[in-house]
Amino acid sequence: MSKILQPHNLPLNQPLRLPNGNVLRNRLAKSSMSETLGTYGNHATPKLVELYRRWASSGIGLMFTGNVMIDRRALGEPGNVVIEDESDMPILQQWARAATGQGAALWVQLNHPGKQSPKGLNASNLSPSAIPFKEDLAAFFETPREATADEIRDIIRRFGRSAAICKKAGFSGVQIHGAHGYLVSQFLSPHHNQRTDQWGGSAENRRRFVMAVYAEIRKQVGADFPVGIKLNSTDFQRGGFTEEESIATIQALADAGIDLIEISGGTYEAPAMSGAFQQPQKATTAAREAYFLEFAEKVRAAVRVPLMVTGGFRTAEGMNAALRSGALDVVGIARLLAINPDAPAALLQGRDSKHQVRPITTGIKPVDRMGVMEILWYTLQLRRIANGGNPRPNESGLVAFIKSLMKSSWGTYCTKRLRA
């Protein structure tokens, strides 16, 4: 059993002042998860309001929404929320107040999937280059077309427009999703981005897109509104985005004025963010629990921008030890909140959650290799919380997969019908 620490001494309980002067009430944050609680027309719903109200009541300091898309034509999943105009302003305001009214900060994670969208969901998918997925994923994802220069400029503008709407709705900040194989990550990767124009080639050119997205958002929201990014430490993929390139990108973003950087890693082709592909760790690292902590230490040596690490944290003691090390400023948790939405209340008191994250498998090898159940199983638990109930921590992975498959197929059909 973990040692119980005195709450007033816990690093988790200390406030954090961001570079632009905004203050987080503590160092515990909810990282993004796939909620798919929007309508099939991609509007926010009261279920999202209820879900975030429940989490905010636990005392957590910062929450990031699940990925919100900036273009209705480019969805990552059925049920994604899209923010591209002000038509949903009343429900967006309710969503923001569900958290901020209880003292928590709520940042919207803005995303474009690029080519990482299931077959049949969008009319077509684009990417920096027309590079197909590897063979075992080709059945699920189409080969994209290469984005034109005009399309790239339009996407950049859309990021800025969506961020401005989020600010107007009362959200506390926005986060650019630059990890896990989505469009920003695709531009950064030499594997996915094989362009020969200003948007590809050298590492500097490949990060031009994310720098332009950040600049456009900052132009539209001003200096006092927090803007962060979720960035891969590496793609864990041959020929992909490397640690050295990640640190150089972080340095460029820090110089540009980014407020918070969340460190993650992997893609659907190499899902390190779920704990897959992690190498055996030294005893000292294992004791510190976090997947990406060693990389955070390298980043801390290069920049002073606030850092958040998500993935692998299990105990209050491990979280506080990581903060004391100085390698990070915010501890991110995600899946734990899907099985125990009240976990922050215990962690902030120095106690461990009554439930712990476990590997979710179906017994179907191709499905399990993708790590997809680390999304689908937890999404089902989020739906239960959003409906006013409680999660089922012991639910079968196979049963959850079948339920999710049926819902996804129906969602794709409904989404396409609404567009017809």
Averages of pLDDT over each 10 residues, the chain, 420 residues? 64 97 98 94 98 98 97 96 98 98 98 95 96 83 96 98 98 96 95 96 97 98 98 69 91 98 68 45 52 89 95 91 95 95 96 88 79 82 95 86 72 57
Q: Which two tokens stand for residue 374?
A: 């680390």
Confidence (pLDDT) at 239: 66
Confidence (pLDDT) at 341: 97
**Residue 350: how many other CB atoms lie within 10 Å:** 21
The amino acid sitting at 256 is: A
The amino acid sitting at 105 is: A
Residue 378 and residue 338 in contact, taking contact as beta carbons nearer than 8 Å: yes
DSSP readout, 227-285? EEEEEES--SSTTS--HHHHHHHHHHHHHHT-SEEEEE--BTTB-GGGTTTPPPPPHHH
d(CA 7, CA 221): 36
Tracing tokens 């620490």 back to the chain, one arrives at 5
Residue 417 zone, left/alpha/beta (φ > 0; ψ -120 to 50; rest):
alpha
**Residue 263 C-beta-side C-alpha neighbours within 13 Å:** 29
Residue 326 zone, left/alpha/beta (φ > 0; ψ -120 to 50; rest):
left
d(CA 373, CA 383): 15
Confidence (pLDDT) at 145: 97
Q: Which 8-state DSSP code applies to residue 2?
A: P
Confidence (pLDDT) at 137: 78
CATH number for the 7-359 domain, one of 2.60.120.620, 3.40.50.150, 3.40.50.720, 3.20.20.70?
3.20.20.70
Confidence (pLDDT) at 264: 81
Confidence (pLDDT) at 286: 40
d(CA 217, CA 232): 20
Nearest Cα to Cα of residue 386 among 137, 62, 147, 55: 55
Confidence (pLDDT) at 274: 45
Strand pairing category for 145-146 and 105-111: unpaired
Confidence (pLDDT) at 416: 55
Nearest Cα to Cα of residue 24 among 329, 285, 334, 300: 329
d(CA 139, CA 405): 15
Helix (H) or strand (E) holding 33: none
Confidence (pLDDT) at 369: 74
**What angle is formed at CA 52 by the lines to CA 48 and CA 54, rounded to 5 degrees?**
120
Confidence (pLDDT) at 280: 47
Residue 38 and residue 78 in contact, taking contact as beta carbons nearer than 8 Å: no
| Packing angle of the helix pair 373-386, 46-56 (nearest 10 deg) | 90
Confidence (pLDDT) at 267: 52
Q: Which two tokens stand for residue 93?
A: 């305001």
> Long-range contacts: 253-256, Cβ < 8 Å, 24+?
253/210, 253/211, 253/214, 253/229, 253/305, 254/303, 254/304, 254/305, 256/211, 256/214, 256/215, 256/218
**Residue 156 C-beta-side C-alpha neighbours within 13 Å:** 20
The residues, ordered by sequence, that sit 6+ positions from 196 with a Cβ below 8 Å of its Cβ are: none
Beta bridge partners of 262: 230, 308
